Amino acid sequence: MIEVRGQGLHSGRDALVRLHPSEGPVRFRVSGQEFRPLASMVQDTTRCTVIGSKGLRVATVEHLLAALFLKNFWYGLVVEVEGPELPILDGSAQEWLALLERFQPQPVTLVGLGEPVRIAKNGGEVSAEPADEFTLAVTVAFPHPKIGYQSFASPPETLSSVATARTFGFLKDLEALRSQGLAHGASLDNTLVFSENSFLNPPRFPDEPVRHKALDFLGDLYLAGAPFAGRFTVHRGSHRLHLELAKVLELRAGERLASKAG
Ligand SMILES: [Zn+2]
């Protein structure tokens, strides 16, 4: 068992996470109750992904889920959480990834996508097309001199290069976010902060924002509940849009498993 403590990005509150090796699919455990991280368990998508069950909620699960995705870790772990939100740590997934190194995931095979999926809303778009392996291409467009249009594309071998990309935000949004109860734990230690024309802390890579969007997408896609093969593309994604795709795929994952069992 491994313990991690830290502050939540939005609540600003401390949380304790225990990772336990365990038989069966990856589950969260809150107040003694267990539930699987699935799109159907999502409670909120405002600035982070919140999952839960029967009044229990855990916020900002996407970076740990992205690390699980990158490790292809679907069975053999329970994530016990005390607190309202997972620790933001350094704002990326690298610490989660390092912690998961100490567990051995069970091998799993990719699930076929079936029919292509395309969801477009409010200027954003996510799509998935059948392919033999998993590939991802992400683009973002922000009217900011240090971001603008950025694109990231990766075959499976180099996908983990997104793990160190941090959460980013704009200084001008901070007050409004805090008045909505968000970003109370945001600091220069866990967030790449953009000022009006520049940044307050240096980016780890020039394209850190698009890489972080790719990371968030992987975390949200994990909520499909199974590793899908496919050519995935995201343009101007959001947790909400990512989750719409994950919901479609969660249903397909269920059908695939049912047809195998039948
Ligand atoms: Zn994120």
Residue 156 has pLDDT above 90, yes or no: no
Average pLDDT over residues 113-118: 97
Distance 55 CA to ligand 1 centre (A): 24
Residue 224 has pLDDT above 90, yes or no: yes
Residue 261 has pLDDT above 70, yes or no: no
Average pLDDT over residues 172-195: 95
Distance 136 CA to ligand 1 centre (A): 16
Q: Which of 10, 63, 212, 239 is catalytic?
A: 239
Distance 75 CA to ligand 1 centre (A): 23
Indicate the burial class of 259 (C-beta count within 10 angstroms; 0-12, 13-18, 19 or more).
exposed
Of the candidates 40, 91, 83, 29, the residue with the CA atom closest to the CA atom of residue 64:
91
b/e 39-63 (16+ beta carbons within 10 angstroms → b): bebbeebebbbbbbbeebbbbbbbb
Q: Is 235 a catalytic residue?
A: no
What are the tens digits of pLDDT across the range 55-69?
899 999 999 999 999
Residue 98 has pLDDT above 90, yes or no: yes
Q: What is the dihedral of CA 119, 122, 125, 126, to 10 degrees?
A: -50
Residue 258 has pLDDT above 90, yes or no: no
Of the candidates 66, 125, 132, 72, the residue with the CA atom closest to the CA atom of residue 95:
66
What are the tens digits of pLDDT across the range 17-73?
999 999 999 999 999 999 999 999 999 999 999 999 988 999 999 999 999 999 999
Cβ atoms of 126 and 138 closer than 8 Å: no
Residue type at 224? A
Residue 257 has pLDDT above 70, yes or no: no
Average pLDDT, whole number, for the chain? 95
